[in-house]
Amino acid sequence: NDLFIYFLKGEIFITLYSEGEFRQTSIIPDGLESIYETLNETLKLKDFSFEDFLELLVKNGLDSNNYEEDKTKFFSDLSELFSNRFLVISNQIHVIIRKFGLTTIDRIFMSTLKGSIPGISEFANMYLGVEANDLKFDREYNPDNLEIDQFLFLSMLYAKVAYSKNIQDDNVESFKR
């Protein structure tokens, strides 16, 4: 039972695969932009764009050791906002587990539109009871280690597999593709 959690600008995607089969995708409409906006409002940050926030998040993340002493308030508020998101994610996971009669989630893969967040695995372990792995699986396809949106990359890999096996189960249109 594998769970994929992906933080986007406006939402958080949660996708469950069980026994190698897709089971469900849930969307929590409260992504990274709302965390940024709350931090900006609370701390009255100047000259701190959403892009700056994303860069800081993938560089320093949720690891207190990565913050200077004068940034402890920022880290504290950031941690609290992520804690709130993880409580919502945890509730959603419990709903999914009950719906499919599962007993556990074996693995969690997690990332953001900008990359991995240092320290997020500890958050996942604390709130979800499972340590998170990075959602980074493009090594054999990306030997130059270019910045790639992992969610988009996963979609492209799935499309390649679906095309090669002539899978048309996930057609979202009313007309055949």
State both tokens at 2.
Answer: 């594998």
Six-digit token pair at 159? Answer: 């499309």
Confidence of residue 128 (pLDDT cuts 50, 70, 90): confident
CA pair distance 12, 36, nearest whole angstrom:
14
pLDDT for the residue 177: 47
Spell out a b/e string for 102-137, using b for 16 or more CB atoms within 10 Å of the CB, else e: eeebeebbbbbbbbbbbbbbebbeebbebebbebee
Prediction pTM value: 0.77
The tokens for 14 are 């949660």
pLDDT greater at residue 43 or residue 167? 43
The closest alpha carbon to 75, from 124, 6, 28, 123, belongs to 123
Angle of the 120-128 helix axis to the 72-100 helix axis, nearest 10: 50
Q: Say which range, 5-19, 54-68, 115-129, 151-165, has the weakest mean pLDDT.
A: 151-165
Question: What pLDDT, in 10s, does the model give residues 38-90?
Answer: 999 988 888 899 999 999 998 998 988 888 888 888 889 999 999 999 999 99
**pLDDT confidence of residue 168:** 61
